[in-house]
Amino acid sequence: MKKLFLSFAIVTMSVALFAQQLVPPMPSSGSLNYTGKKLYEVSPKTPTDTLGWTSTSIPCFGSPTPNIYQLGMADSLGNGCGYWFGVNYDNTIAHPYGLDYYGMGYVVSGNIGIEGIIAMIGGKHVLVGGASSYLELMIYELATDQTITASGVKGLGPDAYGGSPLATVNLLTSAIDTTWATVSGMNYVGLPSVIPMNADFAVVANFAPMRIATDTAYMLCDEPGNHGGLNYSFCCIDPSTYYWLTINYATGGSYDVNISLFAVIDANYVGINDEGYFQGLKMTTSPNPATDVLSVEYALQYSGNVKAQILNGNGQLVREVSFGEQTIGDYYKENINISDLAPGNYFLSLMNNGNRLTKKFIVE
């Protein structure tokens, strides 16, 4: 089994330059060695929305440092060749190919049901693709021997060798929202059916269909070091051929980050009366459908400052309410006024120090 090893240096340049330069070629067969890649760091942007876990033991997106980054990639000659966590290719080798697959691992305590995927996309540049251009999003179980970890040994990773993804959905390039700088800018895609899960899993994005269509898009990551060396963010060229690598290992430890891929949990799971937690939270909302008031009951696995955000069906932030500092061991109930919201589908996200549990509800 072939392993990939990556090393990087850090320089700076403008992201806009990438969008203009990047015209990926059609892929061809052959192996790819990313040794010598350099990483472009773009000035951080303060997000209007973050998702993730508490900083005590599990990955958290945008916590404890809230900055969000767009990371571009360069080939071994220093030429811009695309983005980390998005479309890229290397035209300095004999067989150009892209680092297409990126995954974000989730920690589960108890039983959950996954009903959809949210991807925060930092930007896109549509060249030719049209209707044939899309981002493939998947749910994978985690296996114990699919990833090269920061220590150079095999560890947790998407179970690509053990079978097909548990679910696969497509997000059309033409439908991707990139307005994260002014609103939350998250893209939601529902799964065909709810996926029951009682173990750690990964949300995976495959940019190959977009690269083949010669379009460009990229996800975001949080502050280098926020990931805490936990080896729950992954990258891979071809999950049917190569091992996955942890982002921490792939970048030599200097870019230990979380990726902007998130799961939406079905309302029937991780309720206030259930034993387990997801991302350190459990929550029940009622009624559903709701009209004037949405009631939120919740409990915490970790103490911290709690707030709730309401996103519309397109992932845009429409309401934020602070509940203040809360402690573990207690159950809480809050009412949120939604009388001014138009009828439709919404998401309620309960947040605690970078930790978030997101569920869908309906306004009538």
Q: Reply yes or no on whether the pLDDT at 7 is more than 60.
A: no
Angle at 203 between CA 106 and CA 362, to 5 degrees: 90
> Residue 134: left (phi > 0), alpha (psi -120 to 50), or beta?
beta
Q: What is the mean pLDDT of the chain?
A: 77
Contacts of 24 (CB under 8 A, 6+ apart): 82, 87, 88, 89, 96, 98, 211, 212, 214, 216
Mean pLDDT of all residues in 23-31: 33
Q: Reply yes or no on whether the pLDDT at 191 is more than 50.
A: yes
Looking at per-residue pLDDT, the higher value among 156 and 44 belongs to 156
Can you give the pLDDT at residue 184?
57
Residue range 113-131, pLDDT digits in tens: 999 998 988 888 876 666 7
Contacts of 241 (CB under 8 A, 6+ apart): 2
Can you give the pLDDT at residue 149?
79
Q: Which two tokens stand for residue 123?
A: 């930007």
Of 16-20, 163-167, 250-254, 326-330, the poorest mean pLDDT is in: 16-20
Please provide the distance, in angstroms rounded to a whole number, between the alpha carbons at the two ends of the chain: 54
DSSP string across 163-176? SS-SEEEEEEGGG-
Q: What is the CA radius of gyration of the chain?
A: 20
Task: Count Cα neighbours of 307 within 13 Å in the Cβ-side half-sphere.
Answer: 12
Q: Which two tokens stand for residue 28?
A: 């061809």
Helical residues (DSSP H) of the chain, grouped into ranges = 15-21, 208-212, 247-250
Q: Reply yes or no on whether the pLDDT at 71 is more than 80.
A: yes
Can you give the pLDDT at residue 287?
93
Mean pLDDT of all residues in 97-103: 89
CB 68 within 8 A of CB 221: yes
Of 184-198, 229-243, 297-311, the poorest mean pLDDT is in: 229-243
CB 277 within 8 A of CB 356: no
Q: Reply yes or no on whether the pLDDT at 172 is more than 70.
A: yes
Residue 111 burial class via C-beta count within 10 angstroms: exposed 0-12, middle 13-18, buried 19 and up: middle
Q: Reply yes or no on whether the pLDDT at 67 is more than 70.
A: yes
| DSSP type of residue 48 | S
pLDDT band at residue 363 using 50, 70 and 90 as cut-offs: very high
pLDDT band at residue 103 using 50, 70 and 90 as cut-offs: very high
% of the chain exceeding 70 in pLDDT: 77
Can you give the pLDDT at residue 135?
96
Looking at per-residue pLDDT, the higher value among 236 and 33 belongs to 236
In the chain, the domains with their CATH numbers are 10-264 (no CATH), 267-363 (2.60.40.2550)
Q: At 184, which amino acid appears?
A: S
Can you give the pLDDT at residue 94?
58
Q: Kind of pairing, strands 10-11 and 38-41?
A: parallel
Cβ density class 279-294: b for 16+ within 10 Å, e for less:
bbbbbbbeebebeeeb
| DSSP type of residue 290 | B
Can you give the pLDDT at residue 4?
28
Q: Which residues pair with 304 in a beta bridge?
A: 326
